[in-house]
Each structure stands twice: as C-alpha cells, then as structure tokens.
Structure 1
C-alpha cells in the first residue's frame, strides 16, 4: 500500500499487531499472515505478543541461537511478502530508567535484533504501573520524562530508523487526566519525544466503539504528530467466551489522511481473524470521496460500506473452509497430513447401501455463505450484536414476557395474541434450527484447522440456543427432549459461568454492559437498606396495594412488612424514585421461625425454606430495576445458605403476579392443601 499521510512522506502503516495476551501465534501462522497481507494490500506486522517472555517479562535476555534463527526466518519471510516487520519490546514492567546499565541492556537487545535483519522497532510502555521507583524520582521530573528520555536514546542508538513506534502508558483518552487536551503526560510526550518517532493510540477507550475525526485531531494537536491507531475492536483476550467476526467499522475513512497508520490487534485465535484483517484491508483501500449519507445507518462517511466489506470477506473465507488440511506446512493452520492408504489395508471394493427400512447414511452438507453470515452475526463486535442475533434476543424476550398467551385451550377459540405468540415461536424455532444447521455444516468442513479455532465458540452458542429453543417449546406446551429440560437442578452443561459467573452475579453491576437491553429506565432509582424512618412509607405502600386485591387473607409476609417480624441480615431493601418509596423486598432465611402452626407442607418448606415479601408500585414499569431489587435479596439468602425461597400472594393481586411472571425470577408453586385465595411463587437458589 503506497498511500501516505498528509503530514509526512512516510508510508501509511496498515496491517496487524500481534499484541494480545495469551498463546502467541506459531511461526507458520505468521508466514500465512504475511501472505494474506500482501494479497490484500496491507504492509505492516508489529511483533508484540505479551506472553513472549523475551518481549516483555524477560526483556533483558538475548535470544539464543535457535531463537535467533527463527526470528531471522520470520523477518526474511515478511520482507519476501513486502511486509514491514516491526519488532516491539516492552521493558516497562521493571526497568529502572535512571540506571545506565538498564539502558545499555535495552540497546544491546535491540542491536541483536537489528543483526537479524530487522530495521523497524517499537518501544511499548502500555499496561504498567505508573509509580516510579525512588531512583527514577530523583533523576526525572515525571514518568513521561523518564520514558521519553530512554526512547530518544534508543531511537538514536538505532540510527533513527524510518519506522520507530512509541506506545505511551496513557494510550487512550479514557486514561488521560483530566482530559486529552489537558493531560500533562501527553503534552510532555508530544513536546519531548523526537519528531520522527510515531506514537500508538487506541482511541477514546482501550476498546473503542467509535474513533472520530475530531478525537484524532485533538490528540494529534497534543502529540504534535498524527498517531498510529492500535485498534482493539476485534481483540478478545479479555474474555475467553467472546469472539469477534464482524466487519471493521465506525472508523470513517476520512481518518486516513490524518493518521500515520492503522494496525489491528485482533482475536487470539489466528484463523477467525480472516474477517477482521480482510475488512481492514478493504477500509484502507477505500477512497475518502464524500457521498450522500445513506439511510440504513451503515454509512461510514465515505464509499466504505462495512456490510459489503463483510460480504466480500466471508465470500473469500468460504473458499478457505473447503480446502482440506495440506501436508505442506508452509501454509498456516496446517494440521496433520491426509491419511494415505496403507499397503497392509485392503482397498474397499464395495460400498454399503442401506435398505429403505434402514437408517440413511449421514451426508455432510456443504457450508454456505449464509452459514458464515449467520456465524458472523452471532459473534459480531464488542458493542454490537449482528442483526440475526439481535432478532433472536428480541423474539425470546417477547415470547418469555408474553408467556400467558402460550397457554392454549383445546375448547376455546385461539385469540389474536395466542396466534401471534405461536407464529413468533415458530419463527424463533426456525432461527434456532438454522444455528444448529450452521454448527453441523461447520463441523463437517474439510479445513479442520479453521474449525478447531472456532469449535469452542460455536459449540457454546449452539448449546445456549438449544436451551432457549427448549424453553420456548416448553412454554408452548410441547415436551422438549429430556436432555434440554429447563429445571431447578440442571446438569453442569446446562448453565454458564463457573466461579467467575458466581462472582459476577453477586455484584450490583452484573448485566449492565449486556448488549441486549430492555428500554432504559425512565427514572433514576435507588436501592438501599430499609431504615426505621421508612416504616410508615412501607405500611402506606402495602395498604395501598392491598386495597387493589379486596382480600384480607392473613399472610406471614404481612407481619414481616408491618414490623412484627424482623427481616434477616441484608434482606431488607427498599426502592426509591424521585416520588419516594415505590417498592421493597424483605426476607426471612427460615420461614418456620415465624409460623405458629404448620401453614405449609413440610415437603415444600424443605425445598423453599425462606420467605420473601415483595411489593412494587405500578409507577415502576422498569423490569430491570425490579429485577435488581429482588435479585439482591435472593443473593443474600443464597449467601446465608438457603436453598430456596417462596412468596405469598392473594389471588386478587393479579397485577403483582403478572409483573413477577414477566421478570422470570419466580414461578408459581404447586402446593397441595393450600388455603383458598392464596398463590405461592418461588425459586430454588
């Protein structure tokens, strides 16, 4: 790529950073990357794998003769493909900037790499502690001065290479204090760093949803040069459950003349990066000629269309899936060679053909472009689900929230709501079936190397979709397969998260970054522990809500609400908005302690030993807010060792019963001998 920036005669850097945390790519994968970069018009590879010991943790150590041979081979391979090999080193974990021996060690290491044929370098100070040691505090007035001093020395020691990159510790706007324009750190870097040294920048955030022209103009002014974007939009090293197969987007091509370059730091898995790198190449080749703004929301301010770029990438990727693994290991992703017929094994001379009454032979259907499009939309981008994924989530949310319409009566005519529910359930089932079909076709693709990089992800999404499919089927009155039953005692494979999920569910912020959300709350709500001053408001709310039911059946929960019984520790929360108290959830860990007689069967109390009283005012339509209130109390009960909780409602309290069904946290309990006029809802913990 020969495009140059407007501010210098240097070639616009476009390509890939291997800068993620985790297992580095293999030598053969890197050679395959160079082949693809050359084919697609990209020109740069930045070697910066965080888990290469001699790049970061043991940066002082020289390479052994064997390691040196590998690096020389890699550098030569990059040159053969017209790809600029940039060697990066990260000494910031433990370097003492003021120690001449440390500076000498850094120079010695880079001089060795220079001997391998490398002519482009990068010095990275990202993701390190900002507190200087005592010796450096005496020698330098700030952290920025220390980094700049050593970077300038190394740059000059290497005889001022044409490409030399510097990654600041404050490498995105979110890290700058108090802002980009007022950052003392960035101003020092901009003023003191030699002008020929280029600076890496990730945008507004570490993983930036959008990078605007205005934001780049702002940081360029502070840095006194256009930055090189280190783009983490496809990076997945921060979450092993995520993969990103959507197009490069939300970076207008008007940025190109205002940048020194763009390098993508993509998924850890090599093969799935086909889309990320291919669409970046399409973006880099797009012109910056203005066009009319499209109405589909996909316009990027130029002739680059991310959906078209994605289609082109997936079309090319589809051809890769049909290529069986070759014994020639010069291509990345080469697996085991094809199995050749053995002389000791007889040739198969006849083919088994089942009779009409027998099972037909399994036939592997070929993968289609529609399958890859679906795959991409299921694993799209960090801030955005693909269209199909969003539709599936929307449909499941609606089907769950309107579950009452799913109860069909064989004697009563089907109403319009029931018909709509059935039709949307059928549509959801068809979308789920397409995901399973995509999984099966991918599993049979000849290129096993690509499959193995994708397998954990597609297996996970297939499992999640199958569970959702079974859930909707059960709502519609159908009997799902036993392996997919949604119950209170699922198999380990029936839920996600492990210990990490347990920790997250105990935190108040859990779920607030989900990409699929119900409409945002119309009001600002506060959830807090109940105080003695709240007693009158709690009673007033309770009395107002009881007047709706026109029933006065005594409940144990009434005594919990009116103060005759004290809630268990951390189980007394109230909900407030600008109008005052509008909800509460109180609970007793052991409901038996509040009973003067055996009001409920022992078998029920064994599974649901705790009691919760909950009330939400009708002026709170926001289900997420109510969920947070109730979930907080459920978490406290679970922490106390409870295995289940029940709530009491009068049958006339239809509004609350319907509202709680919508939340999906509690379900109606079938209890024999229950007093007339009562409904119990509950859940196992």
Structure 2
C-alpha cells in the first residue's frame, strides 16, 4: 500500500475487547464510548473471545433480541464518534474450501451490516495451523486459504469503512524462521487485497517494547503498515495479575508508521481507566496536543509515561468519589433495598457516642498517593512499579541479613544491626501504607470500581501483611498470633492453590515468584578456566557434538580444543555438584582466528567478536546460563567490541532453542554461509 493511500485513512486509536473471559456488559461498552470521545480516541473493536456467536458458534445468526442489543451498541458508538468494528473468528472449525462455509460467513456479516455496522474484522488468531484434507487439496498453504476467504468476504461487503485481518502468525515470535523470511507473512502481504489492514502484536504476544525498526521490517513484508493489537495491559492469561501502569515502551515515532493502535486491556472493565487514558495521551503527543512534560522517561519523545500516569490517576481519583448510580450498579444485582419495619422504627436523631465510648467510624478519603501506590503494586507485565521494587529489595536484604537482627539483641549499637533495624522500620512503613491504601479503597463511594479491584487489593494486602509479620519475627518482635508463619497455617497464609504447588515443583519456577530472578534448582559455580580444565572442556564439547551428527567446521571448535586462546576474562566455566556442565569462551577480534575471510566484511564490522557456548542438557536453569553469557558479553563490551556472533551446527536444535528462550542472542541472516551453519549474535 502506498504512503499516500495510508495517510488518507483515519489513524485507528482505541480499544479492542478481545480477551478470554466474561465479556463486558452493554452499559460498560457505552461508558467506554463516552470515555473514548472525551479523550480523543476513535475506535472500538468488538471481539470478545467468549461471546459464543463471535467465535465458537460463528455460523449462527443473531436472534431478534441480540440484534436489538447490537443495533443499540452500534448506534451508541456512532453517537460518540467511535468507529464500531465487528470482528468474527471462524478459524476454530471452518473448512475454507467449502462454498457453504463461505456463504455462512457472508450471511452472518451481512446480518451485522444490516444493524448499521460498516467496519469489520476477520480473525484467525489462536487456532490450529493444520488444514483438513479438503483444504489441503484446494490450497497450497494455510496462508493462501485464509487470504482467499478474506478477500471474498471483503469484496462481498463492498468496500467497508475499515476491514481488519488478524493473521495466525500475529507476532514476530510466531514467524518461522523470522519475520523477513516468513513464507506465511509474505503470502499474506502479497495476496491480501490492498484495502485490508493487518493486525500485529509486535515482537511477542505480550510485547515489552515495540521498536520503529521492527515495524518497518514487518510493514515491508506485509506491504502495508500494521494496526497494533496491544496486549501490554491484558491479564486474561493470569488471574492473579492486574495492570495499572502507563502505556509505555512504544516511541511516538511509531505513529506515522502505523495504521493504528488498539489496546486489548484487563478483563475487568473499571481498572482499564489507566490503560485507555494513557494510550490517549500517547496518541495525542505526536499531534501537538502535549498533555505531558518533556522531562523524565523516554527523552526525545513528546510522551512521558510517568506524567501520563499521573494525569490518568488524577482523573481516575474523581471517579472513585462518585457514588454508584442505582440504575447501573444495582440493576439485577439481587440486593434488595433495606426497608424500615414496624418493629424497628427508622432512626431520625443523630447518634452521639457517650463519654468513654468508641468514636464513630469515619472513612478516610482516598488520595492520589494511594492510587499511585496501587498502580505501582500492579504495574506492567515485565516490570514492577518503583515502590513494589523497593519493597522487594528491602525484603530480600532483610531476609539475607537476618543474622544482623539476632546480633541486634546483644549489640544494638553494632553498625550492621543498626542498619538492619532502620531498614526493617522502613519496610514496615511501606507495608503500613499498603494496608492504609486498602482500607481507604474499601470505603470509596464508587463500589463498582472497588468490586473490580477487590480480589487484587485483598490479595496484595494479605501478602504484604504476611511479609511484614515475617520481618517482625526476624527482629524478635511478637506478631499477631493469626499471622504467625507455622506448619499449620490458615488458607489465607499461603498463595497459589494447586497451580502454585505445581509451579514450585517445576525446575523453571514461575515469573510471579517473590523475586524477579527465580531461584536455581541446584547450586552452580561460574569460574575462569585454567589449563587443567582443558580435557574436561574437550570431553563436554565432543559429547555435545555427538548429539548433532553433523560435520561442519567451526572457528569456535579451535577455541574449545586449545588451538586458540580466549581473550582476557572471556573464558568462563559453569559447574554444578557433579562437575563441568557448560562453558562460554570468546575472542574479541574474530578476524585474528580466520585463515581466510570466512564471513562477510559487513557482518564482521557489526559483530567483530566470536563466542563459543555449550551447555549440558542437565542444566535446566535459564538464569544461571544468562549470567554466564552476560559475564562474557560484559568483558567483550569493556574491551571495546560492539557485537558478538556464535556458530552452531543447524542440527544442534537443543542449543539453538535453549538460547532463543534466553533472549540474549538472535539468529543472524548472513548470505553465503556454508551449508549446515547457523549464526546467532547480538549488538553490545
């Protein structure tokens, strides 16, 4: 698609209701439209996974009652200048080559078109990629089948306002072998009609960051700029997490290179105030409507996530103070209004406590500081907020230095003991702030927001209280008996249920553990290599090569067998209790080891250093391997290198897959390599 064609279209900005779980109500969607109009967003994509007639029973037409609801919803969107995009997901069981199936799809969308909808989306995400026998005979690939039916539907709808297509490979992580070389994406880009836009989630399903370079790359393959389906605030994959941090790690320089951005946020409606509000601020930041200051994070951009978060929380605080409207919050709730009875006459005089009696309870109002703390405790998928990080660090330090707490009782003026006591008090103050925030939230007038948040704030309050008790016990204090950590706890004294038990038994643990780096399943040692290690290193290397059964000569082999000496501080070994289980050796300048120019000059300019890595299959802990490799990378960077590459035999799939999961190295696309050779590398 040409740049001119794309620029004539409206930049899509708004919300996709595309999560798994209970769909939002009609009233919530109308409230969303009001907010979108107020904040300058323009799009809503209707795609709730658990709406039966959107996905599982996609062939079924809507009943008259359902039709009336959709007509009302589409009208409400138009009233607030929001583009209503109706999505359908037939990919679970459609037979692409069956004309009756195509007719059923057209009939369903024609019905919705009759409701006043003029924008549509056809989604093929999260489905099996294996075609049935009939489709294999009719189409040369899965991509061709999807493109064929999508083009037919698009033409049937006669030039809709917007038409979106969600590919099965909707992020870079799903593309084989890469975005640039994906035959699936190339087919989609080449064969899909130009008027159809394509949804994309970024590098991953839930992308930590989305770079301009990555969008330029996928746009060239798709032959059009994508619409970002952003899962940064989605929580349907983890019922214990909620995301109240700002929209971030997407530079505003992306905006002119995209067709649009739609956030697929938390399942709970009310907590999405922050996600949608900060997205709106991000969208406006590139159009001269600067709502935020330029100092702080993301220098060089008009958007500051922390300032955007402050603006969102300031507006949200007002919502907490609004009492629920009876027709919205109480309708169908099954909560009858309490009526006075003859036996219990209505009290008309104001009660005043007598001398020595408890004063009347007065709820403290919620503050902006409380909401900021709430956001920092439930921040983003890949990071905790500053206060949460501080609490984790303090607890880790207090636990690791608990001997100082014992020493405090016999030598209170000892410097280490004094530091422990001061930090324990600071940790206790942070815990008290969380409990105070919980109490204030529990008494806000807007109960609808509270009910969406309650399970999460109750959980974090319990966890914090338990940690607070633990630190008190380390310091020799007597915690309340109901919170004592013992061998017979109450159900609220532990977290996770059966799922948590399973996770703790697996070698990788879970990324929701107390500390960001999961504990290793065994004790490891990382140390420099010495001359007497040579035979063990060679033995491990030969044992691992026997797995590949592939004769490809590698420069790195000469590093391993001792023909070449690694550069200073670039010869590290990994050992566990049974002996050597891995190594990482590196040369700062790979050219010195080349008999002839084995690799292109351009590649060696970007990746001048060479590293040889081997890890035994008995090492299941990714973090210890990350540490080993990171140490060598740091040494190379200190020596002045700007990049490093590693050689692998293509049959060494175990090591290639393991290293891909670490995220430190990526496959390099280099022309003219000898057959059977794969290069991975990274810039430093």
Deviation at 1:363, TM superposition (A): 1.4
Q: Contact conserved, 2:228 with 2:261, CA < 8 A, in 1?
A: yes
Aligned counterpart, 1:547: none
Aligned counterpart, 1:284: 283
Q: How does 1:611-622 map to 2 (within 5 A)?
A: none
| 1:221 and 2:220 aligned | yes
Residues in 1 aligned to 2:398 and 2:164: alpha-carbon distance in whole angstroms: 53
Deviations 1:319-378 (A, max 9, x none): 00011111243x999978995875966442333322342222221111000000000000
Is the partner of 1:88 in helix, strand or coil? strand
Residues in 2 aligned to 1:256 and 1:410: alpha-carbon distance in whole angstroms: 60
Q: Contact conserved, 2:17 with 2:46, CA < 8 A, in 1?
A: yes
Residues in 2 aligned to 1:524 and 1:157: alpha-carbon distance in whole angstroms: 63
Q: How does 1:104-503 map to 2 (within 5 A)?
A: 104-287=103-286, 298-299=297-298, 301-329=300-328, 346-408=345-407, 412-503=411-502
Deviation at 1:625, TM superposition (A): 6.5
Q: Contact conserved, 1:53 with 1:59, CA < 8 A, in 2?
A: yes
Q: Contact conserved, 1:326 with 1:335, CA < 8 A, in 2?
A: no
The 3 A distance-change label for structure 1 pair 34 and 478 is same
559, 573, 577: which one pairs with 1:578? 573
Q: Which moved more, 1:50-59 or 1:359-368?
A: 359-368
Deviation at 1:298, TM superposition (A): 1.5
Deviations 1:83-102 (A, max 9, x none): 00000000000000000000
Aligned counterpart, 1:540: none
Residues in 1 aligned to 2:447 and 2:16: alpha-carbon distance in whole angstroms: 25
Residues in 2 aligned to 1:146 and 1:624: alpha-carbon distance in whole angstroms: 41
The 3 A distance-change label for structure 1 pair 295 and 424 is farther
Q: How many residues align?
A: 537
Deviations 1:513-557 (A, max 9, x none): 758435999x99599xxxxxxxxx9xxxxxxxxxxxxxxxxxxxx
Residues in 1 aligned to 2:417 and 2:58: alpha-carbon distance in whole angstroms: 66
Aligned counterpart, 1:563: none
User: Whose radius of gyration is greater, 1 or 2?
Assistant: 1
Aligned counterpart, 2:554: none
The 3 A distance-change label for structure 1 pair 333 and 515 is farther
Deviations 1:646-673 (A, max 9, x none): xxxxxxxxxxxxxxxxxxxxxxxxxxxx
Is the partner of 1:578 in helix, strand or coil? strand
User: Looking at both structures, which has the greater relative contact order when contacts are Cα pairs under 8 Å and sequence separation is at least 6?
Assistant: 1
Deviation at 1:6, TM superposition (A): 8.2
Q: Contact conserved, 2:294 with 2:304, CA < 8 A, in 1?
A: no
Residues in 2 aligned to 1:66 and 1:308: alpha-carbon distance in whole angstroms: 45
Deviations 1:192-249 (A, max 9, x none): 0000100000000000000000000000000000000000000000000000000000
The 3 A distance-change label for structure 1 pair 296 and 499 is farther
Residues in 1 aligned to 2:144 and 2:98: alpha-carbon distance in whole angstroms: 14
The 3 A distance-change label for structure 1 pair 233 and 425 is same
Q: What 5-or-longer segments of structure 1 have no aligned partner?
A: 528-536, 538-576, 585-621, 627-685
Q: How does 1:29-40 map to 2 (within 5 A)?
A: 29-40=28-39
Deviation at 1:124, TM superposition (A): 0.1
Q: Contact conserved, 1:123 with 1:165, CA < 8 A, in 2?
A: yes
Residues in 1 aligned to 2:22 and 2:216: alpha-carbon distance in whole angstroms: 36
Residues in 1 aligned to 2:269 and 2:208: alpha-carbon distance in whole angstroms: 22
- Using the size of structure 2 for normalisation, the TM-score is 0.74
Is the partner of 1:407 in helix, strand or coil? helix
Deviations 1:402-458 (A, max 9, x none): 001111555545201111000000010000000000000000000000000000000
Q: Which moved more, 1:388-397 or 1:350-359?
A: 350-359
Residues in 1 aligned to 2:24 and 2:380: alpha-carbon distance in whole angstroms: 22
Residues in 1 aligned to 2:173 and 2:518: alpha-carbon distance in whole angstroms: 27
Residues in 2 aligned to 1:156 and 1:365: alpha-carbon distance in whole angstroms: 60
The 3 A distance-change label for structure 1 pair 333 and 143 is farther
Is the partner of 1:200 in helix, strand or coil? strand
Is the partner of 1:467 in helix, strand or coil? helix
Residues in 2 aligned to 1:10 and 1:298: alpha-carbon distance in whole angstroms: 31
Deviation at 1:302, TM superposition (A): 1.2
The 3 A distance-change label for structure 1 pair 115 and 526 is farther
The 3 A distance-change label for structure 1 pair 499 and 133 is same
Q: What 5-or-longer segments of structure 2 have no aligned partner?
A: 527-535, 537-571, 580-620, 626-684
Q: Which moved more, 1:504-513 or 1:109-118?
A: 504-513
Is the partner of 2:56 in helix, strand or coil? coil
Deviation at 1:502, TM superposition (A): 1.4
* Alignment RMSD (CA, Å): 3.1
Q: Contact conserved, 1:327 with 1:335, CA < 8 A, in 2?
A: no
